[in-house]
Structure 1
Amino acid sequence: MAAIIIGVPLAIYGALPANHMAHDSHYGTLFEASDTTTLNRWHATVLIVLIIGLVIDVMKPATLGFVLPGLRGEYDIEKSTAAYLPFVALTGTTVGSFLWGWLADVYGRRSTILLSTILFVSTSICGAMPAFQWNLLMCFLMGCSAGGMLPVVYTLLAEIMPPRHRSWVLVLVGGIGLVGGYLAASGAAYLLEPTYGWRALWLQGSPTGLLLLALARWIPESPRFLLEQGRTDELKQMEMRFGIARRRPVEVPADAAVAAQRHGKLTAALVITALAWSFVNFGLLLWLPADLEARGFSASVASSIIAKSTLLALPTIAIGALLYSRWSSKKTLVLTTLLTLAGLGGAILPAQTLALEPVLITVITLLVVGTNGLIAVLLPYTAENYPLGIRGRATGVVAGASKVGGVAVQSFALAGLIPTLGGAALALIGPVALSAGLVAYAGRETRGRSLRELEAG
């Protein structure tokens, strides 16, 4: 533990480049693959590595639920005290989203992923902490490391993928990473916890993090950052591998003036959408099992209803990627928000109507489909809408907003304020409807468009 305190700052210092990016550089997105570039083995390798990174990243906070029962028993603490662990961890992920998004714009995308991974490996030591209070500290730092991977990955992928493949790749990679992380967490709990106890679920962060560090050699850096660092050899290498080269500026698109006028409204729309999603996901869906049991369903029946709804919602990511890349990025985001709104509307139906299992499954399916689809397209859409110099920070802000609901919900739980399903849905209908309207008004179509075109004017 003492070595970690000394080693982490030294490792971070060593990973930082000599010079950081200029915030106000006039280059813009001049380096980009052409629209005719085909996906090759280098693209596939990067996608596999980043998916593994996201799975490892999501796996850490997803493990919280599996850790809590054993942790409570060993430390002999009450449920109310143990509830501080997810609260602190989610607070860390919120802080991490803002922090790493900013660092990605200052020190580069690849360096930021490495820094996050180094911290991720070091915080696995929370599996050896002798006291609960030390676990709280390490869980906060773990949350900080885990919170930044997703927005930085989206930002990097947006900059290295050919325009015609960018949309579906971003949605699919993010969706697979999220689902894979939760599956990996549950699988690890099934395999490790019965034999090795809850601490093994934290300690596994060390080998998995070291695996990601070993694979980092295949993660490229942002072309613009390489240019500002004078790393011309690596730029030439990226042209050979990814088809990325200096492109001429494009003409100002027809919607540039309207997009500039509505830019502030779009930022508000994306932040409100992220906040609304976080309250639905971390609040309403988290409280759903308890609410079903309060309505008279047994625990097994409640679990069965949720499982059936989740199975119906499984194809969401693939369908979302298809709609996002073939139909419309903006309309897909609005559609998934409206599906979430429809689920909320169903949740406030009279109790006797919701007591019918087919109705209840339909309502829960709408909520699961809507929320899964919404988060799968929200961050890719954000990454595509902001210029290069602030893309990491903007995506980090929206990612951070998507965690705020989790922190608030845990605060409510600590205070003993857990609303009913109908009460939570009623409170969230307004913000979700507002977010759909704002995106429909201020959003810009990004499907298949060059980032140079989206930044022009």
Structure 2
Amino acid sequence: MQRDVSIGARLDRLPLSGFHWRLLGLIAAGMYFDSFDIYIAGTVLAAMVHSGESTLGQNATFVSVTFIGMMTGAWLSGVLGDRFGRRFCYQFNLGIYGFASIAAALAPSIYWLIFFRLVMGIGMGAEIVVGYGTLSEFIPANWRGRFGTILNLIINTSLFLSTFLGWLIVPQYGWRWMFAIAGCGALFVWFLRKSMPESPRWLASRGRADEARQIVERIEAACGSHADRTASATASLTREFHESDSNDTGRLGDLFSRRLLTRTITAITVLVALFTVNYAFVSWIPTFLVKQGHSVSNSLGITALMFAGGPVGSLIAFVLAERVGRKWGIVLFSLVCAGFGFAYPFAQSAVAITALGFAITAGIYVLSSFSVATYVPELFPTELRLRGSGLANTVGRAVSIVVPYAVASAFMRFGISGVLTLIVGALLIQALIVGVFGAETKHRSLESIAADATGAQALEGSARAAAE
């Protein structure tokens, strides 16, 4: 059968409207509480050690199970989201996360808290895969990159809110309220999200074209737009986005097939590089500054100024997402960050250290907006979008478990230069692989991007047949 390719074309022709902004708000709200809960860990664990409810070893276990849960969630969300739908998956994982957070607030001991954190981690790891993937399937091609960067910016502001509320609440009312806030917020968003429609692109990929068309018609009505259903209006779009289909709706093994292997490698590379650079620099910079002779107070002050580059980076990504494009944006800012990283060990004054740290942080957030928020979900066809994103996130999370040990070893042997070599190396490898193998996705429909891989494979097969 032929996939109803007009579904994607009609979604891409829609004018930007309140529907798209409401969708962004609902997805962002769920992902915001997800990120909020990740960032409250430091405040909660410090308070528990201070009160004698936990030890450093138990805190380490808490952090470890968080990563294990997120790895598991990223993997499961890919499988479940492509099989049962985006709507099922984002409601299921948000419900798991919300109830587990409430249970964590009532945990009778650190051991129960660690268990509930594992369950919460599954929901948190799933949300980042489903959220970005779902958003990409609704937003018109000319705005898809910018919406991804806006979502990334909103999510990252949770660092400030979680830190501020931790300072305000934990000393007075205890750590349990932090989990209660996250859990109640997640469940409230779960209720609001019940009004979100299923992805028409996913429905069409599963052969449920009538349901997909009905949803698209409702979206068109909400946007004040009406589809031109004449054959002449859709013929050119059908030719442009034509993609053959079979009864197979996509298998995990297809990610390693000839047509998608380079995209799978590209997606894994950008997330491994992002998590490596983020955890190697952002998470360790206060420790580096202290080791370099700065006082704790001074190092925290410098770090705060450096991290102000985060929102700036997200805004830069918003401006450039639909101008430079995601592929060349990743290549460009990988090289820019590598240049700043190379210069960082030579900085002597506090002003120079702060300025370079600010620039590196901004560059990291540009890469985050381009890669995890936009580029990775765009690389895969609809029937494999969440599995591809889930696999890349799973590998990235697995590497992030190892990164702290690599950073500590590099710092002890070679100092800050060793750590920066690790970071620069990851950035240069990313620039090379994305530059050589990456597909450009700017201003292109998801169907057109997917058809590139299929078309390349078809041309290859035709050439072989002709040779024979």
Q: TM tier, shorter chain? A: 0.7 to 0.9
In structure 2, the residue corresponding to 1:190 is in which secondary structure? Answer: helix
Where does residue 362 of structure 2 map in the other structure?
369
Deviation digits for residues 127-163 of structure 1, max 9, x if unmatched?
Answer: 2212222211111111110111122122112111112
1:87 to 44, 52, 64: 64
Ranges in structure 2 where 5+ consecutive residues have no aligned partner: 243-256, 456-468
The whole-number CA distance in structure 2 between the counterparts of 1:40 and 1:193 is: 41
Is the CA contact 1:54–1:181 (under 8 Å) kept in the aligned structure 2?
no
Farther off after superposition, 132-141 or 403-412 = 403-412
1:381 to 365, 368, 375: 375
Is the CA contact 1:92–1:142 (under 8 Å) kept in the aligned structure 2?
yes
> Where do 1:88-237 residues align within 5 Å?
88-124=65-101, 125-177=103-155, 179-227=156-204, 228-229=207-208, 231=211, 233-237=214-218
Where does residue 392 of structure 1 map in the other structure?
386
Is the CA contact 1:75–1:131 (under 8 Å) kept in the aligned structure 2?
no
1:309 to 303, 306, 311: 306
Is the CA contact 1:160–1:244 (under 8 Å) kept in the aligned structure 2?
no
The whole-number CA distance in structure 2 between the counterparts of 1:244 and 1:286 is: 49
Deviation digits for residues 358-403 of structure 1, max 9, x if unmatched?
Answer: 3212331232112111111102111112111101111222233332
Where does residue 439 of structure 1 map in the other structure?
434
Structure 1 position 455 matched with structure 2 position 450: yes
Ranges in structure 1 where 5+ consecutive residues have no aligned partner: 1-24, 254-259
> Where do 1:400-411 residues align within 5 Å?
400-409=394-403
Where does residue 27 of structure 1 map in the other structure?
3
In structure 2, the residue corresponding to 1:31 is in which secondary structure? Answer: helix
Where does residue 53 of structure 1 map in the other structure?
30
Where does residue 250 of structure 1 map in the other structure?
239
Is the CA contact 1:29–1:455 (under 8 Å) kept in the aligned structure 2?
no
Is the CA contact 1:339–1:366 (under 8 Å) kept in the aligned structure 2?
no
In structure 2, the residue corresponding to 1:83 is in which secondary structure? Answer: helix
Deviation digits for residues 74-105 of structure 1, max 9, x if unmatched?
Answer: 44443233211111112211221121122111
In structure 2, the residue corresponding to 1:275 is in which secondary structure? Answer: helix
Structure 1 position 354 matched with structure 2 position 347: yes
1:320 to 312, 317, 320: 317
Deviation digits for residues 257-312 of structure 1, max 9, x if unmatched?
Answer: xxx97842332233122112212212332121112111111112111212222224
Where does residue 14 of structure 1 map in the other structure?
none
The whole-number CA distance in structure 2 between the counterparts of 1:252 and 1:55 is: 34
Amino acid at match of 2:324: W
Q: 1:102 to 1:128 in 2, by over 3 A?
A: same
Is the CA contact 1:94–1:403 (under 8 Å) kept in the aligned structure 2?
yes
Identical residues among aligned pairs (%)? 22
Q: 1:104 to 1:26 in 2, by over 3 A?
A: farther
Q: 1:375 to 1:261 in 2, by over 3 A?
A: same
TM-score with structure 1 setting the length: 0.84
Residue-pair matches, total? 421
1:38 shift after superposition? 1.3
Q: 1:75 to 1:123 in 2, by over 3 A?
A: farther
Is the CA contact 2:12–2:139 (under 8 Å) kept in the aligned structure 1?
no
2:222 to 214, 221, 241: 241
The whole-number CA distance in structure 1 between the counterparts of 2:5 and 2:124 is: 28
Q: 1:384 to 1:308 in 2, by over 3 A?
A: same
The whole-number CA distance in structure 1 between the counterparts of 2:131 and 2:142 is: 18
Where does residue 247 of structure 2 map in the other structure?
none
Is the CA contact 2:290–2:299 (under 8 Å) kept in the aligned structure 1?
yes
The whole-number CA distance in structure 1 between the counterparts of 2:426 and 2:183 is: 40
Is the CA contact 1:275–1:405 (under 8 Å) kept in the aligned structure 2?
yes
Is the CA contact 1:97–1:151 (under 8 Å) kept in the aligned structure 2?
yes
